[in-house]
Every structure is written in structure tokens, then in C-alpha cells.
Structure 1
Amino acid sequence: MTSAHTDKQLRLEASEWFARLRASAVSPEIEAEFFRWAAQSPRHAAAYEAVCAAWDVLGMVPAKRRPRHAMIGRREFAGGAIAASLAAYFLLRAEPAEAKVFKTAIGEQKRFTLPDGSALLLDTASEVSASCDKISRTASLGCGRAHFDVTNARESALVVRIGDISVTSHRGHFDVFRGEDAIFVYLQQNDAAVQTANGDNVKLRPGDYLRAPMPYGKLVIDRPAQEAITAWQRGILVFDQTTLSDAVREMNRYSPVKLTISDAKAAQLKISGAYGAGKAAEFLHTLTLLLPVRAQARGDGFEITSTL
């Protein structure tokens, strides 16, 4: 490995740490991981200091907001470069870049361009906030699902946070979904890595579908058919021997007409096929043809019961 390549890699790593540490919520585990990285070599600290120096952060923030020496001294590092880096770290956490917010309503899917030039496709009832500056670019999925096409026009990676995990990518095409009890990441093309608050760091391959149970469960990676996983981008929901309870939960995300299941027998029935997102009436009609169930109007929705 050449020295130039090593220097470039260190700059990239330092830029990624810069982006991760600017998030509004940084866990103690991520802080500890950063300090371990910085302590590995004086060159790591120097690279991080160079990233911070580009912002001249010590001159941008009033002195009364700078961290105390005691705060820095508790970290077991030596040299002025480390101290300056840590000072910049705490300052940047206190002064996050202003974020733009992108939202969709129930039943709506919409395309946006992020501040860094990356493309964003938002699914129904979803929200993403994103910010970008000369050094870093970050985004956060507050709810729902999103697809990112990351532009590689910048040296720094895009860091996307979803709860307690983050996805880092320089030019990846990937989906992120915040479910009720897990977070899902699907890498469609190029590169992406997933980091968790408890120290997991997984580099994904195209086609990998990662499930991260909340909170802090064991990561599971599968390789399902891409056509089924990405069908939502075309307004289609694909079920493959899916329980009716899970299928109804997914259909309800796309429609103000809510479906409910009144008994356990109906909830455990299995369904397969492709259905239009938000088309609750068509879905119900198909259910009554394929499964032993009936549907009755209840308030602003329909109740599904088993006929067994």
C-alpha cells in the first residue's frame, strides 16, 4: 500500500468519524469506539485534527462553549493534536449543521434531491432529515422507509442514521426501513457498511438484506430476491407466505382505510402475491377469494374475520 493511498484512507476515515460524531445523539459506545480509533496511531489523531482544522472550529465558537481541560484530560491520549481533535469533537456535537427535512403523507411516495446531491425516494408516511457541508454529509430516517442513491461527487461518505444504527456509504444504492421491532437495510448496488451502538461493524455486499432487531438484537443477513425487496419503489407490495397479520400491517401503512383482524385464526393465515400499495379494497376482495375470511365495514375501515 502506498503512502498516498494510506493518507487518503486516513482522511476518509477521519471524515466519516467527523460526520458520525456530529449527530445529535451519540451513544457512549460510539464515543468509546472513536477514542480507540484515535489512540491507535498519532497519524489517526493528526488526520482527524486536519478535518476539524478545515472548519477552524476553535475560532467559530465562543470560548465559553469550549470544553474544559478536565473533559479532555480524562481521555488517555497524548499530544496537542489529540487535545485539539477532542475539543473540535465536543464543539461539533454542540453545533450540528442545520438539516433540511423531507416528508411524505400516508399513501404518498416522492423523490427528492438531498443537500449533497444524492437522490432520495421516500416511501409512504416517512421522514428524512439531511445536512451537508464542506467536510461531511449526514441523514437521519425518523420514520418509514427510504431509498438512497448516494452521489460519489464528494470524498466523504454519506452517513445515514436509523435509531441506534448507522449506514455509511460513498456511492451505494440502498433501502432503509424503520419497522416496529427492527431496522432493515438492503444494499442494491455498490458499497455500504452498517455500524451499531453495541460495536457491530458489517460491510454489506450487493444483495444483502440486514435485519437489526431493536434494541440491540443479533444482526441477521439474508439474500432475498431483489424484485420482491425493491417492489415498493414501484408502488407494489410483494408477499411470500406472509402471515395475514403482517400483510395487513404493511397494507395499512399506505392507506387511510385501516384493516383490522379480529381473531387469531385469521391472523395466522398465509398469503402470497403482489398487491398495489394503498389499494385496500382490491386487497380485501382478493383475500375473500383466496382465504377463508370475510370482511365487514367497521368505522373508517374493515374488520377481517375467519370463516373456519
Structure 2
Amino acid sequence: MSRDPQQSKDFSQEDEAIARFREDLKQRFPLPTPTPAKNKRPAGKTLGLLLLALAAGVAWIDPAYRSEHFASQVGQRQALQLADGTHVLLDSNTQMTISWHLRSRQVELKAGQALFEVSPMVYRPFLVDAGVAVVRVVGTRFNVARQEHNVQVCVVEGKVTVRALATGSVAALEPGQQLQLHKGREARVSRVDVDDVTAWQQSRLVFESTPLEEVIDTLQRYHRQPIRLMDPGLARLPVSGVFDSARVDRLLALLPGILPLSVSTAADGSVRIDSPGKKK
């Protein structure tokens, strides 16, 4: 892939930023004060040891020299090309911060969903912090969705590793595999149709026996007002079908016809999903 002039300019700026860190590193790792010694080491050996210590310090601190924040609005998708050539597509109502480090590229997916196509850089891995899990790749294509403490990671191409922060367990995922991690539950890896998982790019939401609580989490990404599940006993009801993400209200109106529940709108505009016949 050829680099356009803008990318070259961005990397030139990064080189300048890294150069500025040399002075900071000198402050963090000052040269020791010379002391008298009977057997003085040759100057070359001393310099070599100091350079080794300095390199170890850089490897340990991995300082950030630039950060960027991106956000999409409800109903909006936003395509990004990062300075390293990585492509990211943000789904509706998504917030993401990326920080550029000397030895890594680090993303915090604060909320929402994103499809990443990472430019390979063997010595500078790409990390995605999704709250309860961290995704690590060198260069590949994968989808990450986060709704509060619930995270889904699906691999489209290549390989990724996912580390659950609560337990420290690590899962290696290949194309067609998805990891689901809910706070307080064990991580679950399953085979999925990646075209269905990434169908949101075409405004399609595909559910196949998906628990109602997960469906609500997904719908909330496309709905401005809160969608509240009033009866926890309904959480595991399965939902199947293909729906238009631009017409969430229509799907909500259809739910009572396919599941034993009721849907109503409160005075504040929030949507309430409850057991049928229950007093509001």
C-alpha cells in the first residue's frame, strides 16, 4: 500500500514527537554521578551499559506522544483512516479514543461498536481496551461492540487475542469466532456468521435466537431515549429476524406480537418492556 503525502506528513510529525521525548527520557534516567574507583571501567563499556539501561526504560514506560478522540452521533456512521493506515468504521452512538505510543497503538472503545482493519506493524501492536477486556492484534480485521460491561469481539480476518481483565484469562480467536464477555460471567467463544455480525454497515440488525437483553443493548445504540427492561424474567427470551437499524421504533412495536411481553412509552419518552398485563 503506498502512503499518501498526508500520511508521510503525519509520520514526520510523529518522528518529531519521538525526538522530543529524548530529553524527557534523559530527565527520567539521568546519568549517575561519577565516583572515584580503583578499577575504572573503560568508557565504551560504561556508555554501552547506560544505553542499555535507557533502552530498557523506554521499553518499560512506552510513553504516549499524541491522542485523538472520535465520536459518532445516534443514527450516524463515521469512517476514519488513522495515521498508520488503519481503517476504522464507527457505528451509531460510538465513542473512541486512540493514543499513539512509542511501542504500541492503543484504543479505548468507551461505548458503541467499531469495525477495525488494522495496518500491520509487527513491533507496534494495536490494543483495544473495551472496559472488561483488552484485544491485542498486529494487523487484522475485527469487530468490537461494547455496551457498558458487555463486550463482543468477532474476527473477520487474521487472528486476535482477548484478555479478560477480571480473571486474566486469554482467548485466541480466528476468523468466524466471536467472544462474548459479560461482567460476572465466564467468557463464551462461539462460531458466527461474520456477515451477520458486520451487517450493521448496511443498517441491518441480524438476530438468531438472541436473548432479549442483548437485543435491547443493541437497539439502544440506535435509539435516543432509554429502553428499559422492567421484568428481568424476560431477559432470556429469544429474538430472531433481520431488522432495519433506522427503524428501531417499528421493531419495538413488533415485539409484543412475537414474544409474551408488553411495550409502552413513559412520560419521559423512555421505552418500557414488561410482562403482559402488568400495571404501568
TM-score in terms of structure 2 length: 0.71
Asked whether the equivalents of residues 116 and 132 of structure 1 are also in contact (C-alpha less than 8 Å), the reply is no
Residues 289 and 92 of structure 1: is their aligned pair in 2 closer, same or farther, counting only changes over 3 Å? Answer: closer
Q: Is the 8 A contact 1:115 1:130 kept in 2?
A: no
Contact 1:65 1:91 (8 Å CA) reproduced:
no
Please name the residue that 1:203 is paired with: 172
Does residue 86 of the first structure (1) align with residue 56 of the second (2)? yes
User: For 1:1-308, what aligned pairs fall within 5 Å after superposition?
Assistant: 59-61=22-24, 63-66=26-29, 83-89=53-59, 91-93=61-63, 96-132=64-100, 136-152=104-120, 156-163=124-131, 165-197=133-165, 199-214=168-183, 218-264=186-232, 266-299=234-267, 300-307=269-276
Identical-pair percentage? 23
Secondary structure in 2 matching 1:242: strand
Structure with the greater relative contact order (CA < 8 A, sep ≥ 6): 1 or 2? Answer: 1
Residue deviations 1:202-241 (CA, integer Å, cap 9, x gap): 43211121234447x6443211222332222322222222
Deviation of 1:109 after TM superposition, in Å, equals 1.8
Gapped regions of structure 1 (runs ≥ 5):
1-54, 70-78
C-alpha distance in structure 2 between counterparts of 1:135 and 1:107, whole Å: 35
- The one-letter code of the counterpart of 2:228 is T
Alignment coverage as a number of residue pairs: 245
Give the helix-richer structure, 1 or 2. Answer: 1
- Which protein has the bigger strand share? 2
Deviation at 1:280, TM superposition (A): 2.7
1:83-137: CA deviations, max 9, x gaps? 22332245544xx121111111223221111121111011222122224477543
Please report the RMSD computed on the Cα atoms of aligned residues, expressed in angstroms: 3.5
CA contact (8 A) 1:258 1:302 kept: yes
Residues 1:120 and 1:134: Cα distance change in structure 2 (over 3 Å): same
Question: What letter is aligned with 2:264?
Answer: Q
TM-score w.r.t. structure 1 length? 0.66
Q: Which has the higher Rg, Structure 1 or Structure 2?
A: 2
The answer for unaligned runs of 5 or more in structure 2 is 1-17, 33-48
How far apart, CA to CA, are the structure 1 residues paired with 2:265 and 2:111? 29
| Alignment partners' CA distance in 2, 1:262 and 1:179 | 18
Q: Report the secondary structure of 1:285's partner residue.
A: helix
How far the C-alpha of 1:265 sits from its partner, in A, is 5.5
The Cα offsets for residues 16-39 of structure 1, whole Å up to 9 and x where unpaired, read as xxxxxxxxxxxxxxxxxxxxxxxx
Q: Deviations over 1:124-173 (max 9, x none)?
A: 22122224477543322122221101123776332323336432323311
Q: Give secondary structure in 1 for the equivalent of 2:65.
A: coil
Question: What is the CA–CA distance in structure 2 between the aligned matches of 1:256 and 1:290, rounded to whole Å?
Answer: 24
Could you tell me how far apart the structure 1 residues matched to 2:234 and 2:127 are? 41
